[in-house]
Structure 1
Amino acid sequence: MISSFFSKTKPINYLVLLIMLVLFYVANYFILKINFDSVVFLLLILIAISLQVIGVQETVRTRKTTNTTSFAMLFFVLLCMAVPKILQYKEIVFCNLFLLLSLNRLLALKNLKQVKQKIFDATLWICVASVFDPWVLLFLVVVFLAVYIYGTKEFKNWLVPIIAIVFFVLLISAFLVLTKNINFIENHYVIHVDTNLLESFMANFSIKPFLYIIVILIVASFVLVKQGYQGVGRIIHLRLLLVYFLVVIVVFSVQNLENKNYTILLYSFFPAAIFATNFMETFKKKRLKEAVLLVCILIPFTLLLIDLVKK
């Protein structure tokens, strides 16, 4: 029943998932007493997350990273529900919105139309996202990888990201001068790296994000091998998403050493949802698929129950 419902992409699928996500966050507000800056910020964050849910489905539909189902949207929502404290970090939520816009443009490079414009847009969206989290500039690695994959025949394509970065610097500098906040760049774009990385990593180690990363890497490896063997056309997209996921691990690992902020994993939820969806599509037995989906749906509620018991 569950698999049959989410095998479609009707408006009811969007509505059910968005309502489920909002109700879950509201439950966390009352049960776990998660605090928010204000009602306005709460509404803005909920809107931003809802746009990301819709954006995930639109990217899947237009970029053909999976079959046309609602599973990617479902997994993205479940991952968001598994980390309810996302709502307390508005910077990460807004940052991920722009990262998804960037990733969407990179995946669009496959049709080899308007290549320069898409590279420019993808780079610019990452730069905009860096206003909320300077570490996301590491995702420029994914941009250059996409240029290598899709646009190596023309040298000018390699210069487009640099032009986009210069354009962003000029744009934000002009804005900061007008607002008399020129020190923002100097104060914000400061990246600290702990000299005792191994010691800090062990001190801040947590089993839940570690298990999540391991599971997704195993699923991604299985999917890549399966898709490569079948010769399906989406293999290039999946490889790009794997690199994106690996960059997220780096960003998460370094920042987690400083503040134990697991919500940074939000950046990885889109590629994780895509890999999980492709993994589900390999199941031939409907009962097995139903069982796996049921377990996935129960995980966020189980985590909520565990947090409630700890309270």
Structure 2
Amino acid sequence: MITSFFNKSKPINFVIVFFITLLAFLIAKLNVIEDAITFLGFIKQAIILLLIYASILLVNFIVSKNSLTKKNNYEILLFSLFLLLIVPTTSHTNILISNFFVLLALRRIMSLRSQKETKKKLFDAAFWIAIACLFYFWAILFFAIILAALVFYSDNNLRHWIVPFLGALTVFTLSIAASVVFYGSYFKIFNISPQISYDFSSYNTFQYIVAITILLSFGAWSSIFYLNNIKKKKKAFRASFKIIIIAAIIAFLIVIQTPDKNGSEFLFLFAPLAIIITNYIEIIQEKWFKEAFVLVLVIAPFFLLLL
């Protein structure tokens, strides 16, 4: 029933996804609220919520524009369910903003497939990732996706390899100028925190253990089939599918090495993982298994909320 409902893209699907997202957002805020709500505070939270919704729509745009899945809405359903599974992902503004800019960069990287305005797209992608780094340092790892895309598209134009670095340098230069104007210091505006930590004790709760187990087990299982099916895709789209798996690996590395493990770091993993798992759902032949697979992903977040 669930699979047939989301098997085709329909407006009602977006309403359901936005409701699940709103629920995750409100639960996260209820867990941390201490002071009385002010008008400015309400406006700020409304803007953050709109940013999350914009990220979901951006994921849907990337998927549909590049034929990463069939014409369904599984990817945005999974994205919203992941937000509900680990609700801290909706409450850390810097990572929400950083992830949004990473998605903007991913959109431009995917569009390299057309081989049109390549320099502009490479510059834009690097520009967005550089901005993402201003809000969360380890987003810098996503810069590797740009270089990987150049390899996948067999781009031997030396200028194209230089352009991404110019895009990053532009953000660096503008940031220094802004820092001097607003703070009177060259580097005060930078949110540089290159520390690494492998202390996973903060994940040692029942909710985190279950949530992480579901994400990693379902993701790893789906990735096996995802990789096997890339060669069956149209040649023009194969690079896009490879880029998604690289994005998932980079996001996983961020989760592993981030110094402040509060759950919000999993946000970078949600978009690529939602796309990978959606691809697996689409190839499941047994209807009962397909229903059970999706049902576990739907029920698990709500089950954890009751604990």
**TM exceeds 0.5?**
yes
Between the aligned partners of 1:64 and 1:161, the Cα distance in structure 2 is 25
2:106 is equivalent to residue 108 of structure 1: no
Residue 281, structure 1, aligned to residue 282, structure 2: yes
The separation in 1 between residues aligned to 2:190 and 2:127, in whole angstroms, is 21
Offset of residue 71 of structure 1: 0.8
Offset, 1:44: 1.6
| Partner Cα separation in structure 2 for residue 222 and residue 181 of structure 1 | 53
Q: Does 1:300 align with 2:301?
A: yes
Where does structure 2 lack aligned partners over 5 or more consecutive residues?
Answer: 36-40
The question of 1:117 aligning with 2:115 is answered no
Alignment of 1:254-273 (within 5 A): 254-255=257-258, 258-273=259-274
| Partner AA of 1:81 in structure 2 | L
| Cα displacement (A) at 1:75 | 0.8
Contact 2:25 2:49 in 1 (8 A): no
Moved more, 91-100 or 6-15: 6-15
Aligned mates of 1:5, 1:26 — CA distance in 2: 26
- Judged with a 3 Å threshold, the aligned counterparts in structure 2 of structure 1 residues 242 and 3 are, in CA distance, closer, same or farther, namely same
Alignment of 1:160-175 (within 5 A): 160-175=163-178
What residue is the counterpart of 2:64 in the other structure? 61
Q: Deviations over 1:92-147 (max 9, x none)?
A: 11111111111111111112111111111111000111111011111111111111
2:216 maps to what in 1? 213
**Residue 187 to residue 73, structure 1, CA distance change in 2 (3 Å):** closer
Within the candidate set 61, 73, 76, 2:76 is matched to 73
Aligned: 1:86 with 2:84 = no
For 2:201 and 2:26, locate their aligned partners in 1 and report how far apart those are by CA, in whole Å. Answer: 32
Matched residue count:
296
Distance 1:162 1:54, change over 3 A: same
Q: 1:296 to 1:215 in 2, by over 3 A?
A: closer
Which residue is 1:309 aligned to? none
CA deviation string 1:256-296 (max 9, x = no partner): xx332221010011100100110001012333322222221
Give the secondary structure class of the aligned counterpart of 1:131. Answer: helix
Query: Amino acid of the residue matched to residue 245 of structure 1?
Result: A
Q: 2: CA distance between counterparts of 1:54 and 1:186?
A: 30
Cα distance change on mapping 1:115 and 1:281 into 2, 3 Å: same
Which of 33, 36, 49 is residue 35 of structure 1 equivalent to? 33
Unaligned runs of 5+ in 1: 195-199, 307-311
- Aligned partners of 2:132, 2:34: CA distance in 1, in Å? 22
Aligned to 2:192: 189
Give the Cα–Cα distance (whole angstroms) in 2 for the partners of residues 45 and 59 of structure 1.
21
The CA deviation string for residues 144-182 of structure 1, in whole angstroms up to 9 with x for no partner, is 111121252311110011111111112112222221353
Contact 1:36 1:42 in 2 (8 A): no
More divergent stretch after superposition (6-15 vs 269-278): 6-15
Q: Which residue of 2 aligns with 1:197?
A: none
Change (3 A) 1:254 1:303: same
Which segment is superposed worse, 79-88 or 179-188? Answer: 179-188
The answer as to 2:10 corresponding to 1:7 is no
| Counterpart in the other structure of 2:135 | 132
Distance in 2, Cα, partners of 1:250 & 1:23: 28
**Cα RMSD over matched residues?**
2.2
- Do the aligned residues in 2 keep the contact of 1:123 with 1:164 (CA within 8 Å)? yes
TM-score, scaled relative to structure 1: 0.87
Task: Report whether the alignment pairs 1:20 with 2:23.
Answer: no
Aligned equivalents of 1:248, 1:11: Cα separation in 2: 30
Alignment TM-score, normalising by the size of structure 2: 0.88
Give the Cα–Cα distance (whole angstroms) in 2 for the partners of residues 272 and 18 of structure 1.
19
